């Protein structure tokens, strides 16, 4: 078996509030709404981010989104009043960590040149 793609899941308490947040985060409405309690965004590389109502697990999800230009992404998000709770630079990646209204962790990560 060869794994060919991935669907990252983010559990939230209130899908209406979450859709507002993630529409700003991704810069567009959900690409799919297969059920009333689900919103999905397709990523350029083929994967999907699946935001769904699950009150018992809300706030315990983590997803890392790879970007080409972290500074550009942070500038775009700042205009939407979305600010990171932490930033870091390592040998392999520059990162910025965000928290959605439920406390889920969303990490934007830019590979350092020659490392990814």
CATH 3.90.580.10 fits 7-111, yes or no: no
CB of 95 closer than 8 Å to CB of 108: yes
Distance CA 12, CA 28 (A): 19
What is each CA distance from 16 to 12, 33, 49, 101, in whole angstroms? 10, 12, 16, 11
Question: How does pLDDT run across 50-104, given as a tens digit for each residue?
Answer: 999 999 999 999 999 999 999 999 999 999 999 999 999 888 999 999 999 999 9
106 class by beta-carbon count within 10 Å (0-12 exposed, 13-18 middle, 19+ buried): buried
Please name every residue paired with 23 in a beta bridge, in sequence order, or none if there are none: none
Give the start-to-end residue ranges of the domains of the chain. Answer: 7-111
Question: How does pLDDT run across 13-57, given as a tens digit for each residue?
Answer: 999 999 999 999 999 999 999 999 999 999 998 899 999 999 999
Q: Which of 3, 38, 9 is nearest to 106 (CA)?
A: 9
Angle at 101 between CA 100 and CA 105, to 5 degrees: 30
pTM of the model: 0.90
């Amino acid at each position: 078996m060869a794994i060919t793609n991935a669907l990252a899941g983010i559990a939230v308490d209130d899908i209406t509030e979450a859709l507002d947040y993630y529409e700003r985060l991704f810069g567009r409405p959900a690409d799919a709404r297969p059920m009333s309690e689900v919103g999905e965004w397709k990523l350029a590389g083929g994967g999907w981010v699946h935001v769904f109502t699950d009150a018992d697990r809300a706030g315990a999800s983590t997803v890392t989104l790879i970007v080409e230009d972290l500074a550009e992404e942070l500038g775009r998000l700042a205009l939407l009043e979305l600010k990171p709770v932490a930033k870091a630079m390592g040998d392999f990646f520059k990162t910025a960590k965000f928290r959605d209204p439920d406390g889920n962790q969303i990490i934007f990560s830019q590979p350092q040149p020659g490392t990814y």
